[in-house]
Structure 1
Amino acid sequence: MKFLCLPGAYGSAKVKNFRVQLGPLADELEGRGLASFTYTQGSHEVEPPAGWEDYFGARPLYRFLDTRRGDNFENLRRLRHMPYSMNAEDAMRMFQNCGEGEDWHQQVWRDAMDDVFKTLDENPDVDAIIGYSEGAMVGASLVVEEAMREQRTGIKPRIKFAVFISGSPPLKFEGGDRVVAQLADEAGTVITIPTFHIFGCDDAFLGGAVALYNVCEPSNSTMFDHGLGHIVPRDAENVRILSDILQEIIPGIDDKSQQNDTGSADSAPATDEATNCKPVLHRDVSVLE
């Protein structure tokens, strides 16, 4: 399986900070013969926000979103202070309403998605994605866009598996100017491919990760709580556990894909036995809210 790796905001592939973040897990999966990886980044070079100059590492830094006409970092800071008693969907609605009336959002989002599709076209062997934070939101939206494009054009989706690390739900256009999150209590299930959700119970943005999980098909979804914050886990114990879980998931997805390619299987969704290993986590995400 070949993963396209999508970094978080202020990440990069060129100076390799996402390669460093993901390195222990990627090295372990490559060593087990489960996966290979190609890295990308946003196309917009940015400076880190005030007070965070040294947090994100060496320049240059990039984002998928063009923030020259505005930025939502301050709104994200507000999201960090949402009470855990508020459910994930209500928290996301409160966050996204901060940008209401800003008519630049749709073009910014369209440009970001076009850039990622271009990268996908340039890497025809990619069949999976792994995204962290902003990259997970972009990746989730890519999966939804591929499904919508199949309905319009008949073009089969390329992405058959997604790993989301500390993500947030996919975005959609609304009206003439807004871009809003697709939320489970409004849109239902919007991602049906197998997904693996990695997050930490101490993540200040936990609500976004839960909201993303909630719009994914539960019979095809696995989640793992590493117990830490808004990070890509790199310690030996978590890397081992994550690799063991993925060693259960990935072969089943590959087998299913090969069967479909040869016409020896129908188009029914993959079963739990083929795609899921759940040694750790809660199926009822309400316990996380």
Structure 2
Amino acid sequence: MKFLCLHGAGTNAQVFQDQLEGLILSLPPGNDIKFHFVQAPHELTSLPFDFEAYAGSGPHMRFIEHPQWITMDDVIERIAKAPSGESAEMIWRHALDFYYSNDTPGRSEFIGSIGRSLALLNSKIDEEGPFDGLIGYCEGASFGATLILDRLRKESSLHAPQSFKCALFFSGYAPFAPDGSKVILADEYGQIFNFPTCHVIGSDDALIDGAMALLNLCDSGQATVIEGGSGHLMPQDSSALRAVSASFLKLVELAQQA
């Protein structure tokens, strides 16, 4: 099986490969699993000071060029101010409502960046694929879900078989529509991803509502959730890595049986 691997915003393909080393090295010998890491096309010129050590050496790249006046702290503050008792979908919609207005400053650059990243990844699939599964962290997980949505639409129109058969999402969150018009949420679209998925989610992740919104788009009967143990970061301790590795191998097995 071949997996397309997408890094988080502010890192790069090599950093993500290093982060996944514990997962890759723990695979049994003789397996036929291949990983293809793709670098995002847009450079992030500045990083939060407390993220520099985690992000590693540059270049620091991203798949989506968010409006520069929006920071992650802004999103977290909006989540904190959401009315209590709301669903994950309503909280995530409230957190990102500034993307919905056509006169939002930076919106055209945001939409254009989605188109460019989709074009890059679709060309990689044409050149290096097909890929059976996707592995993504943070923005890479969310944008990977956007890519799968784009592929599903195209495959459906061509009456072609579904290409992606499974996905491993680390601290992912609900995807944007391929045209950038909205966030795709289960209370509007229902269950979209009807294949085995594994979701590594930190219970203390400030963006956990986005992660739950992504989970709710997936088939609950085929979704596995693992406690990441490191907030929004990739798992750090050996026990979490072992749990991810075991679940990943089960994911592969289920996808192969489909």
TM-score (norm 1): 0.78
Between the two proteins, the alignment pairs up a number of residues equal to: 250
Question: Please, which of 29, 43, 46 is the counterpart of residue 44 of structure 2?
Answer: 46
CA deviations over 1:144-189 (Å, ceiling 9, x no partner): 1111112212233321111111011121167xxx621111111111
Q: Are 2:212 and 1:210 equivalent residues in the alignment?
A: yes
Greater displacement, 202-211 / 107-116: 107-116
Deviation at 1:8, TM superposition (A): 0.5
Q: Please name the residue that 2:141 is paired with.
A: 136
CA deviations over 1:228-279 (Å, ceiling 9, x no partner): 31111142211212222233332232132xxxxxxxxxxxxxxxxxxxxxxx
Change (3 A) 1:72 1:36: farther
Could you tell me which amino acid in structure 2 is paired with residue 205 of structure 1? L
Change (3 A) 1:252 1:34: farther
Pairing 1:255-270 to 2, within 5 Å after superposition: 255-256=257-258
Q: Please name the residue that 1:226 is paired with.
A: 228
Q: Distance in 2 between matches of 1:40 and 1:216?
A: 24
Deviation at 1:107, TM superposition (A): 2.4
Q: Please name the residue that 2:64 is paired with.
A: 65
Greater displacement, 94-103 / 198-207: 94-103
Give secondary structure in 2 for the equivalent of 1:171.
Answer: coil
Percent identity of equivalent pairs: 28
Q: Are 2:77 and 1:78 equivalent residues in the alignment?
A: yes
Could you tell me which amino acid in structure 2 is paired with residue 64 of structure 1? F
Q: Which has the larger radius of gyration?
A: 1
Change (3 A) 1:27 1:173: closer
Change (3 A) 1:167 1:155: same
- Is the contact made by 1:141 and 1:171 (CA closer than 8 Å) also made in structure 2? yes
Q: Are 2:34 and 1:27 equivalent residues in the alignment?
A: no
Q: Distance in 1 between matches of 2:130 and 2:156?
A: 23
- Is the contact made by 2:76 and 2:206 (CA closer than 8 Å) also made in structure 1? no
Q: CA RMSD in A?
A: 2.3
5+ residue gaps in structure 2? none
Greater displacement, 74-83 / 18-27: 74-83
Pairing 1:56-135 to 2, within 5 Å after superposition: 56-67=55-66, 70=68, 72-74=70-72, 75-79=74-78, 81=80, 85-99=85-99, 100-101=101-102, 102=104, 103-104=107-108, 105-135=110-140
Give secondary structure in 2 for the equivalent of 1:181.
Answer: coil
Q: Distance in 1 between matches of 2:147 and 2:171?
A: 17
Deviation at 1:6, TM superposition (A): 0.3
Give secondary structure in 1 for the equivalent of 2:27.
Answer: helix
TM-score (norm 2): 0.87
Q: Distance in 2 between matches of 1:95 and 1:183?
A: 13
Could you tell me which amino acid in structure 2 is paired with residue 57 of structure 1? G
- Is the contact made by 1:126 and 1:159 (CA closer than 8 Å) also made in structure 2? yes
Q: Distance in 2 between matches of 1:53 and 1:226?
A: 18
